[in-house]
Amino acid sequence: MLTERYLQIFVALADEQHFGDAARVVGITQPPLSQGLRRLESLVGAKLFERGTGRVELTPAGAALLPYARRALSSIDEFHHAVMAQGPDGTELRIGLAPEVPASIGAAVAAACGNAMRGSRVTVVSAPTAALIPQLTAGRLALGVVLHPAVLDGLSAGPVTLLPTWALVPERVHPDDEKPVSLRELDGLPVAVRPRAEAPAARDLFLDALALHRPRGGTVAVTDERAGLAMAAAGQAVLVTADPTLEAAGVGRHRLTGDPLPVRLRLVWAPSRTPSGLPPEALPKVIQALGPA
Amino acid sequence: MSAASRIRAVFEDAGARGWLHATPLDRPGDTVEIDADVIVPMASVYKLPLLAGFCRLVDDGAIDPREQIRVEPADRTAGPTGLSIMADPVTMSLRDLAVSMMTVSDNAAADVLLDKVGRDRLSHLLRDFGLQQTRVRRGAGDNLQELLRRTGAGDPDAAFAVLADNDRTDPAGVYDAATASASTARDMTQLLRSIWTGEILSAEQTQFVAATMAHQVYRHRLSAGFPYDGVRVAGKTGTFGALRHEVGVVVLPDSSGFAVAVFTLAARGDGRLPRVDAAIGEAARIAVNSLR
C-alpha cells in the first residue's frame, strides 16, 4: 500500500541526493529509508533512483513521477491543516477563565494562545475556579486561569501572578479624589464579595485579609462584579476589583494602601510540562499575558 | 449522600486536598476511604511508626526504655516544642523522650529516638508489621535540612515563611512524597489497629502507646470532631507547611473503637488555618458515625 512515508522518502531523496541526508529530513535512520525506497520501487514497478558511489540520481521514471509525489504530499499537508482547523478532538484548545480575571487579561491570554496556534481553534468558557478545576482534571479544558490559592489536585500550574486591586467607592461615603485609601477608612459600607463556594481557599484568604485590615464594615454577597458595581452605584457597597475598566457615575476609583487584597491568578493545565495542544514555546507568552497590563 | 462524598465536600469547603481511611478496630472489613492508597508525606506522623518500632525493640529486649540519655542543646534538632526550644542540657530516659515526642511532637526527642532505633532497623520492623507503603526516610532534622536546601532560606523560620507566602509558588519538591517520610492513610489505620488489638506489641507496650497518645496536647484536629468528654481520642498530628494530618484511635462511650487517618494538604500556605484543622475533625466524625 502506498503510504505518506514512501512519498516523503521519494521527495527527500530527490531533493537531498544523499541517503543519510534524506533519512535525517524524513526523521528516520538510513536502513528503513533504503527499505522504504525498495518497497516503493516494487509498488511502482520501476527503478526511481540510480545509486552510484556517493551519488543518488533520479531515473527517467523517477523524474516523471516526482511532480505527482510532491502534489500528493502537499495535499496530505493541506488535509492535516484542515483537520487542525476543524478540530474534532485534540486540536481545539479550550480555555477556562475564572470570573475574577479582568476582561482585558482574559482576552490577552486567549490572544496569546491564538497567536501560538494559527489555524487551530481556540474556545473560551468562563466559570468559577471550583468548576474549572474538575474540567481541567478531566481534560475537557486544556488551559485554565484560576484564582490562587486553590486545591489543584495534581494539576500542573504556572507561577502566581498578582494583580493589584482598586476599591470602587460611592462618592457619598468617600470623595472621588483618586487618592489611595486604606481599607480601614472604608468601614462605612459592606464590601461586595462573590459566593465563597466558587473558590473557598481564595475567598477565605480575601475575607481573612479584609477582616484583619478592616475590623468593621462587614460584607455583602453579590453574584458577580456587574452586580457589585451596581451596588456601589446605588451607594450600598464597596467593590474591590482588579478590572481597570469598571466604572459608574458617582463611584470613585481608589488604590488600596499597601495593596492588601490582590487578585492572585495562576495558569493551570493537566499534568505535563506544558499544556497539551499548546506549543511549549508559547507557554511563557501566555503566562506573561496574565500579568498586569 | 455517601460518607465519602460528604467528606470530600468538607475538604473542598476547607480549601484542602484530603486523604482518609477509617475502620472499626473490631471490623477491619468495614471502611470509609478517600484515596486511602495514595502515598502522602507524613510530616510528624512518622513519630507513630517510630514509636511502634521503639516499643517492639523494648519488647525484644534490644532497647532499655529506662536508659538515661543526656541531650546537649547544640545537638538538638530545631522545632517549636519540647527539648527543641529548651536552653540547657537535659537528661531523660528513652521512654520519657518518647512521651515528649508523642505528646508535644518534640523534634529533638524524636531524632534522639530515631538514632537509637536506627533507620534500617526501623524499616525492617515496619515491614514486619505488614506496612507496605510506609517509609521513614528522614527524621525531623533531615526534613529541615531538605526544606532549607529547597527554599534556599538561611534558617527554619525563613524557610517556613517561604511556604506560608500565598503570593508565590511553593519551591519544587517541598511536598514530594517520593523523598520524604511517607505513608498511606490505609497503612496508618492498619498500624493503629495492629497496636490497639495487641497484635504487634506486648500488653505493657500496647498500654504505653495508648496512654502516651491519649496525652497528646493537640485537640484542634481529630478531637475537635468529637466535642464530648465521653469520647476518648488518642492521636498523633503532623504539620509541615501546608500539610496538616492526624492519625489516631477514637473510642466512643460504648467502648467501640475506630482507627482513623486523615492527611490534608491545604491550598493556602498560611501557618494557621483553623478551618482545615476543624475539617480534619469533621471528616473523622462523619467517617466514624457512618461506621457505627
pLDDT of residue A85: 55
Residue ranges, chain A, pLDDT below 70:
25, 27, 54, 80-91, 293
Residue ranges and CATH numbers for the domains of chain A are 4-86 (1.10.10.10), 92-160+265-289 (3.40.190.10), 165-261 (3.40.190.10)
Taking only the tens place, the pLDDT of each residue in B92-141 is: 999 999 999 999 999 999 999 999 999 999 999 999 999 999 999 888 88
pLDDT of residue B67: 98
pLDDT of residue A281: 86
Strand partners, B258: B24, B250
User: In chain B, which residue's Cα lies nearest the Cα of A157?
Assistant: B169
Q: Which residues lie across from A264 on neighbouring strands?
A: A162
**CB-based contact A177:B292 (threshold 8 Å):** no
**Is residue A98 within 8 Å of A128, Cβ to Cβ?**
yes
Asked if the Cβ–Cβ distance from A162 to B16 is below 8 Å, we say no
| pLDDT given for residue A118 in this prediction | 79
pTM of the model: 0.82
Q: How many residues does chain A have?
A: 293
Cα-to-chain-centroid distance, residue B81: 15
Helix (H) or strand (E) holding B243: strand B243-251
- Grid coordinates standing for B102? 508523642
A201 to B267: CB separation less than 8 angstroms, yes or no: yes
Q: How far apart are CA B220 and CA B241, in angstroms?
A: 17
Q: How far is CA B73 from CA B82, B112, B144, in A?
A: 12, 12, 17
Q: Count interface pairs A-B at CB distance under 8 A.
A: 50
Cell reading at A97: 477563565
Chain A residues with CB under 8 Å of B16 CB are 151, 201
The residue in chain B having the minimum alpha-carbon distance to the alpha carbon of residue A154 is B17
User: CA B133 to CA B138: how far, in whole Å?
Assistant: 15
Residue with cell 500556605: B269
**Substitution target from B165, B167, B176, B282 for chain A, most A beta carbons within 10 A:** B167
CB crowding B226-250: b at 16 or more within 10 Å, else e: beeeeebbbbbbbbbbbbbbbbbbb
Among chain A residues, CA nearest to B264: A151
What local confidence, expressed as pLDDT, does residue A33 receive? 87
pLDDT digits (tens, 9 = 90+) for B250-288: 999 999 999 999 999 999 999 999 999 999 999 999 999
Residue type at position A245: T
Query: Quick one: CA dihedral B97, B103, B107, B110, positive or negative?
Result: positive
Residue B61 Cα to chain centre, angstroms: 26
- Test B275 with A204 for CB contact under 8 angstroms: yes
CATH of domain B3-291: 3.40.710.10
Of A60, A123, A78, A76, the residue nearest A96 (C-alpha): A123
The string of pLDDT tens digits covering residues A89-135 is 546 899 999 999 999 999 999 999 999 887 778 999 999 999 999 99
The mean pLDDT of chain B is: 95
Query: Positive or negative, the Cα torsion across B182, B185, B189, B192?
Result: positive
Q: How many CA atoms lie within 13 A of A197 on its CB side?
A: 4
Residue B62's pLDDT band, with cuts at 50, 70 and 90, is very high
Nearest-by-Cβ selection for A201 from B168, B169, B268 = B268
Of B11, B12, B267, the CB nearest to A149: B267
DSSP state of A190: P
Closest CA to B58 of B209, B247, B187: B209
Nearest of B118, B127, B165, B138 to residue B46 by alpha carbon: B138
Task: Give the C-alpha separation, A267 to B169, whole Å.
Answer: 12
Residue with cell 496536647: B217
- ipTM attached to this prediction: 0.91
Q: Name the more confident of A79 and B172.
A: B172
CB < 8 Å to B275, chain A: 204
Radius of gyration of chain B (CA): 18
What does the radius of gyration of chain A's CA atoms come to, in whole angstroms? 29
Interface residues from chain B to A (CB-CB < 8 Å): 11-17, 166-169, 265-270, 275
Amino acid at B91: T
Q: B141: which 3 cell numbers? A: 532534622
> What are the chain B neighbours of A148 within 8 Å (beta carbons)?
166, 267
Q: Residue B123 and residue B129: Cα distance in Å, rounded?
A: 10
For A261, which residue in chain B has the nearest alpha carbon?
Answer: B167
* Segment B3-25 mean pLDDT: 97
Q: Which one of A165, A204, A208 would you mutate to disrupt binding with B, by most B Cβ within 10 Å of its Cβ?
A: A204
Q: Which residues on A lie below 8 Å from B15 (Cβ)? A: 149-151, 200-202, 204
Helices A19-26 and A30-44 pack at an angle, to 10 degrees, of: 90
Quickly count: other Cβ atoms within 10 Å of residue A223's Cβ: 12
Give the pLDDT confidence score for residue A15 in this predicted structure.
Answer: 84
Q: Residues B2-26: what's their mean pLDDT?
A: 97
Beta carbons of A160 and B266 less than 8 Å apart: no
Q: Does A14 touch chain B (CB under 8 A)?
A: no
Contact B269 A200 (CB under 8 A): no
Q: Give pLDDT, residue A81.
A: 57
CB-nearest partner of B17 from A151, A200, A202: A151
CB of A99 within 8 Å of a chain B CB? The answer is no
Q: Is the dihedral of CA A207, A210, A214, A217 positive or negative?
A: negative
Chain B contact for A157, CB < 8 A?
yes
pLDDT of residue A82: 62
Residues of A (207-226) whose Cβ lies below 8 Å from B: 208
Domain map (residue ranges) of chain B: 3-291
pLDDT at A27: 67
Q: How far is A199 from chain B (nearest CA, A)?
A: 8
Residue A66, CA atoms < 13 Å, CB-side half-sphere = 17
Gap from A288 CA to chain B (nearest CA, Å): 15
Contact residues on chain A for B169, CB-CB shorter than 8 A? 157, 159-160
